[in-house]
Amino acid sequence: MREVYLDVENSGFVLPEVLEAMKPYYYVRGYGNPAIPHKPGQEALEVFDMVSEKVLEALNSDDGNIIFTADDTESNNLAIIGYSLANRRKGKRIIVSSIEHQSVLFPAEWLSKEFGFEVVKILVDSEGFVKIDELEKSITKDTILVSIGLGNYEIGTIQDLKAISEVVKDRNPETVIHSDATSAFTWVPIDPDKLGIDMITISSHKILGPKGVSALFARKGVRLGRILHGAVSTQPLRPGVENIPALAGFGKAIEIALSNWNERIRKVKGLRDTLMERILGEIDYTLLNGPRGDKRLPNNLNISFLYVEGEALTIELSLRGIYVATGSACTMRELEPSHVLIAIGRKHEEAHGSILFSLHSRLSREDIEYVIKQLKEAVNRLREISAWKPGKEVIKPGEIYRGGKHGK
């Protein structure tokens, strides 16, 4: 059976070249602690320096600080908590968008609960774009931090960060702007100077690099506090031993992504567009979540399949070798559907049937053809089973139908 992986947004496989780049650092060289001046330590330090340079190159910056962490969640926590606590004397207002990832929203909420910060969530329009006029109104003298993701991890909306930063800095030049660019990294150019932003989160495991390594870029002069405490070695802001083999892999994954930029994006965008147009054109009762065109991440597609529940569809597709994710409540700890889909105005029953397809460079036309064919069959099968059928009004909780007339 063909296997098609369409979930790099939640993590992914590692390219063979990346794995090869990592291997020696487990047992041949550079396996020491980079803070110790022996040869295996110094070789590790070389990797650390080299990958720092690569990240700066990828972000088109030459004077930022790079802090390597264990995951994008940690980088976002360091940005939100590390900045806010170190600068709390300047003010206590933090602004985020309502469609941020949990690793941005939860630390902000934690700061509000534990330290009395005021967290303002800016609403988005039906395509997921931050309402800039609302953002403008909410910037006060007290606002120390704004965190708005560059490309949304679920519906692919690419925010106009340049316009956002202009509005923010115009109202309060002291306000620092962080952007979780984890999903956008290697899919749209990121340049902190051009965008006017101060901190950026990027990660390895979404760009076909290994798990366990992420980076936070912080402009020089942005004062951060530690969120982890222990023996400081290579990185003053982040105690602990760096994951050097994973760093080497991250560096390789960045190198590959930079070297095939145009051709990779053209190819993936083409495959994504085919998948999108054919699903919307050939499968009934489908809704596109998020924008069309250049304002959408080229590898992101999110579609709601009505009359089908997303977890069931995810499992059904998996049994057919197709691996996707859903924003349905049924895969969630609190049994609530995705807050991103609710924020753009989707009804619960629309969010429950949502499927996130996140594409990558190693897909072929044949893979996409296979997905379309299998998807049609899978949706049809589950719609046959479904108690919620097209043309039938949404049944209110507690309503009971009697007799044999149901469903006609």
Is the CB of residue 159 less than 8 Å from the CB of residue 149? yes
Based on CB atoms, which residue is closest to other proteins, 62 or 384? 384
The SS3 of residue 117 is: coil
- Contact with other proteins (CB under 8 A) among 116, 173, 259, 384: 384
**Beta partners for residue 176, in sequence order:** 145
- Shortest gap between Cβ of 310 and other proteins (angstroms)? 8
- Shortest gap between Cβ of 337 and other proteins (angstroms)? 7
Binding mask 153-192 for other proteins (x = CB under 8 A): ----------------------------------------
- Shortest gap between Cβ of 121 and other proteins (angstroms)? 11
Query: Which three-class secondary structure string do you get for 182-229?
Result: CCCCCCCCCCHHHHCCCEEEEECCCCCCCCCCEEEEEECCCCCCCCCC
Is position 395 an interface residue for other proteins (rule: CB under 8 A)?
yes
Residue 201 phi/psi, 5-degree rounding, is -100, 130
Is the CB of residue 239 less than 8 Å from the CB of residue 229? yes
Binding mask 293-322 for other proteins (x = CB under 8 A): --------------xxx-xx--xx--x---
Amino acid (one-letter) located at 381: R
| Residues 6+ positions from 130 with CB-CB distance below 8 Å | 97, 122, 123, 124, 148, 159, 164
Based on CB atoms, which residue is closest to other proteins, 272 or 352? 352
- How many residues make contact with other proteins (CB under 8 A)? 46
**Beta partners for residue 221, in sequence order:** none
What is each CA distance from 119 to 96, 113, 166, 256, 353, in whole angstroms? 7, 10, 21, 39, 31
Based on CB atoms, which residue is closest to other proteins, 62 or 334? 334
Among candidate residues 36, 330, 332, 372, the one labeled active-site is 330
Is position 118 an interface residue for other proteins (rule: CB under 8 A)?
no
- Contact with other proteins (CB under 8 A) among 89, 220, 229, 333: 333
| Residues 6+ positions from 241 with CB-CB distance below 8 Å | 33, 34, 233
Best CA proximity match to 128, nearest among 106, 152, 146 = 152
Is position 267 an interface residue for other proteins (rule: CB under 8 A)?
no
Is position 369 an interface residue for other proteins (rule: CB under 8 A)?
no
Based on CB atoms, which residue is closest to other proteins, 28 or 319? 319
Is position 123 an interface residue for other proteins (rule: CB under 8 A)?
no
Based on CB atoms, which residue is closest to other proteins, 299 or 328? 328
Whether 330 sits among the annotated catalytic residues: the reply is yes
- Shortest gap between Cβ of 342 and other proteins (angstroms)? 6
Is position 1 an interface residue for other proteins (rule: CB under 8 A)?
no
- Shortest gap between Cβ of 117 and other proteins (angstroms)? 17
- Shortest gap between Cβ of 366 and other proteins (angstroms)? 25
- Contact with other proteins (CB under 8 A) among 76, 337, 357, 361: 337
- Contact with other proteins (CB under 8 A) among 66, 81, 105, 222: 105
Specify whether the backbone of 240 is left (phi greater than 0), alpha (psi in -120 to 50) or beta: left
Is the CB of residue 322 less than 8 Å from the CB of residue 4? yes
- Contact with other proteins (CB under 8 A) among 331, 362, 369, 376: 331
Best CA proximity match to 119, nearest among 144, 93, 148 = 93
Residue 145 phi/psi, 5-degree rounding, is -145, 135
Pairing of strands 300-305, 286-288: antiparallel
Catalytic residues: 330
Binding site for other proteins (CB under 8 A): 102, 105-106, 307-309, 311-312, 315-316, 319, 328-339, 342, 347-349, 352, 384-388, 394-404, 406-407
